[in-house]
Amino acid sequence: MRTVPLGTTGLQVPNVVLGLMRIVDMSDEEVRTLWTTARDAGITFVDHADVYGQGLHRCERRWAEAVPLSSSERDAVTIQTKCGIVPDGPYFDFSYEHVVESVDASLEALRTDRIDVLLLHRPDALVEPDEVARAFDELHEAGKVRAFGVSNHTPGQIELLKRSVRQPLVANQLQLSITHAPLVAQGVAANMQGLDQSISRDAGLLDYCRLNDITVQAWSPFQAGFFDGVFLDDPRYPELNAVLDRLAAQYDVPKLAVATAWITRHPAGMQVVLGTTNPERVAAAARGSDLPLTRAEWYELFRAAGYTVP
């Protein structure tokens, strides 16, 4: 399993992450099998959120019940969680009170004394950066949170937070797959009149993260779009699947590994967040951690997904 830097923390972390948003109805044995498979593949980074599990902190609690960690085992795992979404509404709340209360509840649910990485879960239009800073300072000084980041934030939103927040923002969790790649596609087709792909919708977010040592975490790495099904073996993407099949045979890996490698091949040093609860798929995807796709292969997949390469 290849590792990448986690922002400016100095930590090297796996470039594949086990996302635990769908484990609430799994048995202890099923959760343990999922975790054991991930760990055996070299994945030691898990991603939670307070809203995962059809109720607050339910997936966090389910994980801790099924996978009790000894002190040494806890030290070997990077636990990330997120806060800020209020599902009753829905709306967002980055207030000091909400952030601190959410972290305290996550610590209890996870049965741990610290969260390694806390992300603000999507942007809050009513954010007051000084409130966020006060919460982060208190949580960091108390040893409850070691590092902080965001999800789905634009460069401007991050800069606004940085005016008040003293801790480095080390990660930005963003949707990215071969077929959902506006982060990459706009830059490839910059300044091409009349082409929708050339329109900047994120103010150069990927380049901004690279310039500011913010690790990009790619969620929904196999989704065709916004939760409208995976592109693997989907008849909507015959050309892409033909290329995936050929490269999978060439490298003697599952297609999931090639789809993972398309993301991990990028020099930004991204992490791929797996949302599957199928151990076989976790193992298959993990094999793409350090698959050495060539430039030609990477761009071929990109074109086969429907993007323009001038």
Task: Say whether 251 is catalytic.
Answer: no
Confirm if 1 and 15 have CB atoms less than 8 A apart. yes
Residue 85's nearest CA partner among 63, 106, 61, 64 is 106
Residues 6+ apart with CB under 8 A from 198: 186, 189, 190, 191, 192
Maximum CA extent, the chain = 58
> From the CB of residue 191, how many other CB atoms can be counted at a distance below 10 Å?
7
Q: Which of these is catalytic: 52, 208, 237, 307?
A: 52
- CA atoms within 13 A of residue 236's CA, in its CB half-sphere: 11
Strands (E), 31-72: 45-47
> From the CB of residue 145, how many other CB atoms can be counted at a distance below 10 Å?
23
**Hey, which residues are catalytic here?**
52
